[in-house]
Structure 1
Amino acid sequence: MATISALPAPGTAPAPIPFRQILPWAVFGVVLAVVLLYFVGAEQGITSVIAGETVHEFVHDGRHLLGFPCH
């Protein structure tokens, strides 16, 4: 009976990922994080992008969990 091993052969190393392939995903991740931080931390009052209290109420508990004051 033959066994199949998922381990790489000795002497082989994984190929590094080029920086040019990682950079767009890193930029996307940073932009997404900043947008989420804005909506959780600052989407209310005079800096509001979306009118009304819908976004505020949607992220209300997350705002308290992350330590942002909102009242």
Structure 2
Amino acid sequence: FADQPAAVWAKANAHRFGFVVRYPWMQQEITGYYYESWHLRYIGVEAAMDMSKRGIETLEQYFGLEAAPGYL
């Protein structure tokens, strides 16, 4: 799915509608999950735009949480 036009569009634009890719590429040490391009999470436009603007990729980083346990 990651290479499909819908996934490419979502990664580039989801924040404008309040969504983030919940488990981003190469962030498994932080999220505890491997990349899931289809796993979008609604967090609200303000928070999603702020994450995008600040270059923050994970909710753990955004909310200042410790890395998740390894569920891999």
User: TM-score normalised to the size of structure 2?
Assistant: 0.22
Q: Rg larger in 1 or in 2?
A: 1
> Where is the strand percentage greater, Structure 1 or Structure 2?
2
